[in-house]
Amino acid sequence: MTPAVLENGELETRYRQGRWDSSLLDSALTQAENSGRSSDWIIHFDICQALRGLTLRDWQHVANHYLAADRASPKLWLKLLDSILSPTLFPELSNEERQRRHDALISPVWQDPIACARDVLQSGYLGSRLSHYPCLLTQGESMRLPVVAKGFPVGKRRRQAARQLLSLTQPFEVLIRECLSRAAGGKDTSYRPTVAVVGNSPSILTAGRGDEIDSADLVIRFNKVSMEPNKIRHTGRRTDIWVMSPSTPVSCCPADAKGIIVSGLDSLTRPSFFWPTLPGPGKPLSQCPASQWHELVACFRAPPSAGTLLLASLKAMDLDVSCHGFTRCVTEHAVHGNHHADDDARSVRHNWEAEACWLGNLFPQREAFIVSSE
């Protein structure tokens, strides 16, 4: 079956709005091949990453376009470099093969390094500057980019922040287990740790479960956390791990949090404007597994919310998880309004109805479950 040809701009609109049905991948590839524009290949690249994970075949397909183009986009070049040097992608590649593909991308740049440096360092669009990519800034000398070697260095503070980010980053399960081990103390080895996940729905303010939340071995909260005295009997006091969206300032991190999880897909490694702020608190950093993200995307045909992604990642570890501050259904959100700690509206990119059904099956004994944590 031939993929549908979408009108100009419709593909990117569907992607940005979270309308990720099964035809989106095929339509993105068709559009990129038909137009040949680097901008369309970038959208195809992003859609592959978000919907099912980038494969080596995807990478090579996009790289072939870049190498054949007369004046390819610096953003596309940086995306290709960043992904081929990522230690978590393409485990089937040997170091030698990874280096060969890296060199194939670098070689054309040496022909006009000044022009390339100007493109990469002057563009303000996200993903178009070297400084947006923390992973590229921590590569060894053998992987240094020509634009850096040719006298166009990224600032010392930015490189130092990238190294700090790398040193603070831990796998999701490691961060969870380490925080739990502190709480478990001398408890029996057969003990199943308890985790309380606390969302920001105003529905929590009628629950009176503050003591129950604080009695859990691990308490996880999202974004802007309210410690107003009149709310604590409902919300509890403790925060062991703080989950932040990329739009939330890291300064909102509760002082007692022992670790930070950045929501979304590959949020600690993908290009962003905010990554240099993450090492500021000096706390361990992590992100939910990409495999959980892609499983939920296949289920919802939309990007999962931060709360659902976290709950799925925790349940995969076979922990005793309870959730609080989640509304029971989509219509209930209209009754309770927005988050109790701020005025942020619910994102329209998520499939809330599908998430409510999925979470209701996951926690059949609890009040399910549209997360209002974003």
DSSP string, 59-100: HHHHHHHHHH-SS--HHHHHHHHHHHT-TTS-TTS-HHHHHH
**What confidence category does residue 117 fall into, taking pLDDT thresholds of 50, 70 and 90?**
low
pLDDT of residue 118: 53
Last residue of a domain, one of 164, 197, 220: 164
Query: Token pair of 42, please?
Result: 């970038």
What number is the average pLDDT over the span 181-199? 78
276 vs 121 pLDDT, higher one: 276
pLDDT of residue 33: 92
pLDDT of residue 285: 97
Question: What is the C-alpha separation between 374 and 371, in angstroms, rounded?
Answer: 8
pLDDT of residue 68: 85
Question: What is the C-alpha separation between 61 and 372, in angstroms, rounded?
Answer: 39
Amino acid in the structure at residue 228 = E
Last residue of a domain, one of 164, 191, 222: 164
Instruction: Round the average pLDDT of the chain to a whole number and report it.
Output: 82
Kindly list the distances between the CA atom of residue 42 and the CA atoms of 33, 52, 118, in Å, as whole numbers in the listed order: 12, 16, 20
**H helix or E strand, kind and range, residue 175:** helix 172-184
Cα 87 to chain centroid distance, Å, stands at 17
Question: What is the C-alpha separation between 88 and 266, in angstroms, rounded?
Answer: 10
Mean pLDDT lowest for which of 50-64, 247-261, 353-367? 353-367
Domain membership of residue 281 as a residue range: 168-371
* 1 assigned to some structural domain: no
Same-domain status, 153 and 260: no
What number is the average pLDDT over the span 279-303? 95
Which of the residue ranges 121-130, 241-250, 329-338 has the most confident prediction, judged by mean pLDDT? 241-250
Same-domain status, 95 and 213: no
Same-domain status, 126 and 244: no
In sequence order, the β-bridge partners of residue 285 are: 169, 260
* pTM of the entire predicted model: 0.87
| CB-CB neighbours of 168 under 10 Å | 18
Q: Classify 263 in phi/psi space as left (phi over 0), alpha (psi -120 to 50) or beta.
A: beta
Query: Token pair of 103, please?
Result: 């060199």
Which of the residue ranges 69-73, 86-90, 162-166 has the most confident prediction, judged by mean pLDDT? 162-166
| pLDDT at position 104 over 70 | yes
| pLDDT at position 374 over 80 | no
| pLDDT at position 368 over 50 | no
Same-domain status, 151 and 237: no
Cα 67 to chain centroid distance, Å, stands at 29
Query: What is the rounded (10 degree) CA torsion for 60, 63, 67, 69?
Result: 120
pLDDT of residue 115: 55
Last residue of a domain, one of 164, 196, 219: 164
Phi, psi of 222 (to 5 degrees): -120, 140
Please count the structural domains in the chain: 2
